[in-house]
Amino acid sequence: MIQWLCFEWQISDLPEFSSLAAPLVIRAARKTEHEAVAKTLKSALSVDSAWGGMSRSVAARLARTTEAIFASDDPHCMVIVHGQHVVGVSILDVAPDAPNHLLSGPCVLQEYQNRGLASALLAASLDHLQKNNVKLARGITRANSLAARFVYPKFGGVPHPHNTRLPKPAAA
């Protein structure tokens, strides 16, 4: 049985998080970066062994989520760029009562991992949510994922068991 956790953050008083060292920059995604965001998500997901046999259904869900987010006038997505290359992504739901605000969670390309970039994405994501009037942020992930073990506990993230089912992937 798959075990899920829902992390929650009271984001009224987040600690300061220093910006990234050049040439890495963290910022809101531009509408023109839709394809780069989708590619980065797919690549980052494919190397996280916690998703195992679910990676196809998760990838399909994230592809639909990315389409929907970038169809809006203001895509709520944070990116880390190295030059013109998107190396990290976090897609957000800014509805204050959303069951999951971190739709993709912080996703970083494998060659950029272990540098604190996922933590930087989480900090920027929580800051973006706070600026959009979210008081209690939530992020759902598998219990054994890299996010659950190393990233989501930061900034006061409190885990709770969560029952969820991912939608079945669309027929090919």
Residues 164 and 4: beta-carbon distance below 8 Å: yes
> How many residues belong to the chain?
172
Determine the Cα angle at 126 with ends 88 and 29, to 5°.
Answer: 40
Arithmetic mean of pLDDT over the chain:
85
Q: Tell me the pLDDT band of 52, cut-offs 50, 70 and 90.
A: low
Asked whether residue 31 is assigned to any structural domain, the reply reads yes
Residue 64 lies in a domain: yes
- Say if 127 falls within a structural domain: yes
Domain membership of residue 169 (yes or no) is no
Establish if 121 belongs to a structural domain.
yes
Domain-embedded: residue 65? yes
Residue 170 within any structural domain of the chain: no
Domain range for 155: 4-162
Q: How many domains does the chain have?
A: 1
Q: Tens digits of per-residue pLDDT, 122-168?
A: 999 999 999 999 999 999 988 888 888 889 998 888 898 887 554 43
User: Which value, to the nearest 10 degrees, does the dihedral of the CA atoms of residues 42, 47, 51, 56 take?
Assistant: 40
Residues 31, 70 contacting (CB under 8 angstroms)? yes
Task: Return the closest-CA partner of residue 158 out of 2, 7, 21, 4.
Answer: 7
**Is residue 11 within 8 Å of 63, Cβ to Cβ?**
no
SS3 of residue 60 by DSSP: helix
Q: 70 vs 75, 80, 93, 147, CA distance in Å? A: 5, 17, 12, 24
Type of residue found at 41: L
Residue 20 lies in a domain: yes
Q: Which residue has the higher pLDDT, 126 or 169?
A: 126
Q: Using CA atoms, how far apart are residues 10 and 158, in angstroms rounded to an integer?
A: 9
Please state, as a whole number, how many other Cβ atoms lie within 10 Å of the Cβ of residue 106.
26
Structure confidence by residue, pLDDT tens digits, 103-114: 999 999 999 988
**pTM score of the predicted model:** 0.87
CATH number of the domain bearing residue 157: 3.40.630.30
Q: Write out the two tokens for 152.
A: 């989501």
User: Under 8 Å CB-to-CB from 83, ≥6 apart: which residues?
Assistant: 23
